[in-house]
Structure 1
């Protein structure tokens, strides 16, 4: 039996009821291009293969798990196993036809945030993503303005995707059980950005700077980027905190910064 490794942040899913609920939420169909990140011991791999008619790409970093997966699913000729780090993997290499990718994964807590930002680079080729993450991270992904969990992660993900909290997963569903609760999130990349930023990199800078010291106001946090008068000229209150601004507000700030710098 392969033991979970702390350095990979491994917690293997084993609860049959939770597995059924996850697969039911994903609703995979034959002919769809499913991709599983971190299949582990194959708890989700098996039902995904059954639902798709035996076609699946999996990306696994732990080389000791590769032969286990190959042995367990040797009958599935269309299971393609990629031994790679998902944080650096080029997901464009999986796009071989006009089918969008549907991503699934029980993501290690220690890489979940950078991995999601990495996946945004491929959002044009992704239909949806269903991930198991630390509950706190899912709350941040789905938070609205004014929520305690609202911040940089949720704003940047929601700029590119619709995010929906599906359900909570207790620690006992895993072996070994983690010390925190998990949750399932669904991310649907937007076909059209509702409030497009002139420069998404500038948006990231503004959001990061605005939340640099969470309890401080926009006037103080954004001082290195723009004046209080500039903030006010956009119809925003410089005395407001970043946690109360909408994504549209942040886009206005970012576009103002882009246009000011380009005209300087």
Structure 2
């Protein structure tokens, strides 16, 4: 398996497209750890984003009820169809994942898991879209740039903690599966990667009266990290007296910075502002 990806790339004389962020896995141990970490079984309908030449896809197909792969690069479609033709539980669609209607794809499926080696240049938009879309994924097991994984798993009062940390932790429990070195890919990326699993919570981690306001407050709090909460939130257009009253009601010092607030504190502040508006 170590050379299987290389063999397929060579067999079809496939040319990597840098703009699509294509880095294909060549490490058998990493493939097995992804499948094991995703806890895929015969009940699962698996969505794979960016299957490459299908080496991870093949391992998923052996364990899952069905694998639906979404691939943007049309040059890879015939390769995948040929290499995976022995699997009746395989389906491929040639589309940009950010334009896919997952509710239409998933229909009556009960146990849906997403597995992906995400292109680094669209990691955050994909994660945001999948979590905010209210789709019925049980989990997302994704390989992403280490820097992004650190931000996702970050706690308050750390430099990595920010809007992405709170977005993911609002919807999911986070589990780090393993680290992956650049040597595990062709071509080699310049950074280390992390396989991380996001288990969707049955309901969001905190009770929020207005999600749009909640995330707007979070984004404003981190847009200028060194600003105090007071200065960061003034730009939201909220009446200053109302903002001051809300901060006082939830016992948050206006001189604190956003990076010091827990998700519970952001929820309390958001809910109080909503009540006062």
Q: Give the TM-score normalised by structure 2.
A: 0.90
Q: Tell me the residue number matched to 1:40.
A: 52
Match of 1:171 among 175, 182, 186: 182
Alpha-carbon distance in 1 for matches of 2:202, 2:253: 31
Contact map agreement 2:43 2:111 (CA 8 A) in 1: no
Contact map agreement 1:4 1:12 (CA 8 A) in 2: no
Q: Which runs of 5+ in 1 are unaligned?
A: none
Contact map agreement 1:169 1:181 (CA 8 A) in 2: yes
Q: Tell me the residue number matched to 2:273.
A: 257
Match of 2:261 among 218, 232, 245: 245
Match of 1:230 among 236, 240, 246: 246
Alpha-carbon distance in 2 for matches of 1:26, 1:205: 32
Q: CA RMSD in A?
A: 1.4
Alpha-carbon distance in 1 for matches of 2:133, 2:90: 22
Alpha-carbon distance in 2 for matches of 1:86, 1:98: 19
The CA deviation at 1:27 is 2.3
The CA deviation at 1:259 is 2.1
Match of 1:92 among 99, 103, 108: 103
What are the residue-to-residue correspondences of 1:173-188 with 2, within 5 Å? 173-188=184-199
Contact map agreement 2:102 2:135 (CA 8 A) in 1: no
Q: Tell me the residue number matched to 2:149.
A: 138
Q: Tell me the residue number matched to 1:49.
A: 61
Compared CA separation, residues 234 and 83, structure 1 to 2 (3 A) = same
Alpha-carbon distance in 1 for matches of 2:259, 2:220: 12
- For this pair of structures, how many residues does the alignment match? 260
Q: Tell me the residue number matched to 1:101.
A: 112
Alpha-carbon distance in 2 for matches of 1:48, 1:194: 30
Contact map agreement 2:249 2:272 (CA 8 A) in 1: no
Alpha-carbon distance in 1 for matches of 2:211, 2:261: 17
What are the residue-to-residue correspondences of 1:58-69 with 2, within 5 Å? 58-69=69-80
Contact map agreement 2:220 2:232 (CA 8 A) in 1: yes
The CA deviation at 1:130 is 0.2
Q: Tell me the residue number matched to 1:19.
A: 31
The CA deviation at 1:31 is 2.7
Alpha-carbon distance in 2 for matches of 1:200, 1:4: 40
The Cα offsets for residues 164-219 of structure 1, whole Å up to 9 and x where unpaired, read as: 22211100100000011100111011102232111111111000111121011112
The CA deviation at 1:97 is 2.1
The CA deviation at 1:232 is 2.3
Larger helix fraction of residues? 2
